[in-house]
Amino acid sequence: MLEDVNTYTIRIGSRGSQLALWQANHIAGELRGRGHNVEIEVIRTVGDRMQDPGFVAPETWEDGKPLDGKGIFIKEIEDALLAGRIDVAVHSLKDLPTTLHERFALAAIPQRADARDAFVCERYWGLHMLPLGASIATTSPRRRAMLLALRPDLRFVEMRGNIDTRLRKWSEGQADALVLASAGLDRLGRTEHVHARFEVEELTPAPGQGALGLETRSLEHPLDSEDPQRDPLIYAAVRALNDPDAAFATETERVVLNALGGGCQLPLGAYCHRMDEMWHLHAMVVARDGEEAIHEVKQARVGVSAAEFGGEMAEALIAAGAREMLEKAV
């Protein structure tokens, strides 16, 4: 099998940001370490072009469907998968919708990085130390709502762009502090101004945060070509990078998200992790103004299914009024 797959060059598709390329090169290195030939193709998405001055995003895709927060970062990459230009897409898992099209498969979730959110500030070393009415840069509805639940006096600044761009704008004084995903800062080695990381009880991470999703063509819908072995062999090579604990934890989180709407604009967090023979699942839903919050914690023994564990959490959140709270937040 190994000799067969090594006759192919595995083509990875990635966005062109510094973090996306780090992630793609990391996966390429893992595959090369297993003896595979790998190339990386950079693909520019609508989400990337939206950060260019003067670019006006279309209201719909070519098929008439409206643009959505997740699709703007993945559609062109998935198009390249379908066309056979690439074999694997490396995504930040939280960018992927909870339900993939039948033509695609989530082949692997590698070992997960730190899923927590990081407090980036030099002068003030913690959220509680910020002065009254301080400004924080974040565009995430989840982070905004959860921060307001902790500090109702905070003001928020719109700050878009990649990690380096946001750090530069913050250093220029456009905000008192930043809140960013720890995983991206760790991967790029930009932790010099990180003096605190939020506990999951304070800011519950977005489902899938800190994890990578390796997307391939579905084995039920392989590339129409004269080489029927290619897709199954490449899928097996990518599948070898799967971390079972990371896969279970993130699948559980995504079950919760899917049950409550599945969108990335929801002020909802879910984080699952393993301690010995027990799974621990935190979930939080917060009103946009931070005035109301639902926080549930559940435990289950190793061996439970992600669908069952995540489903139980979703039911508990719904029973506590989470659906109504999220409907108000839209």
β-strand pairing of 9-14 with 37-42: parallel
Task: Determine, yes or no, domain membership for 303.
Answer: yes
Task: Determine, yes or no, domain membership for 32.
Answer: yes
Judgement on whether residues 80 and 137 belong to the same structural domain of the protein? no
For 56-113, write each residue's pLDDT tens digit. 444 443 554 544 554 667 889 999 999 999 999 999 999 898 889 999 999 999 999 9
Looking at residue 67, its pLDDT comes to 44
The CATH number covering residue 295 comes to: 3.30.160.40
Nearest to 144 by CA among 194, 203, 193: 203
What is the rounded CA–CA span in Å between residue 186 and residue 230? 35
Give residue 159's pLDDT band: very low, low, confident or very high (50, 70, 90).
Answer: confident
Judgement on whether residues 235 and 256 belong to the same structural domain of the protein? no
Judgement on whether residues 6 and 76 belong to the same structural domain of the protein? yes
Helix (H, G, I), strand (E, B) or coil at 124: coil
Residues 308 and 278 sit within 8 Å (Cβ to Cβ): no
Task: Determine, yes or no, domain membership for 122.
Answer: yes
For 225-253, write each residue's pLDDT tens digit. 678 889 999 999 999 999 999 999 999 99
Judgement on whether residues 53 and 173 belong to the same structural domain of the protein? no
Spatial neighbors of 56 by CB under 8 A, at least 6 apart, are none
For the chain, the residue count is 330
Looking at residue 74, its pLDDT comes to 85
For 270-310, write each residue's pLDDT tens digit. 999 999 999 999 999 999 999 999 999 999 999 999 999 99
Judgement on whether residues 46 and 100 belong to the same structural domain of the protein? yes
Domain containing residue 221 = 2-109+211-242
The CATH number covering residue 186 comes to: 3.40.190.10
Which residues form the catalytic set? 95
In total, how many domains does the chain have? 3
Least confident of 106-110, 207-211, 217-221: 217-221
Adjacent-strand bridge partners of 24? none
Which backbone phi and psi does 12 adopt, to 5 degrees? -95, 135
What is the rounded CA–CA span in Å between residue 148 and residue 213? 30
Task: Determine, yes or no, domain membership for 203.
Answer: no
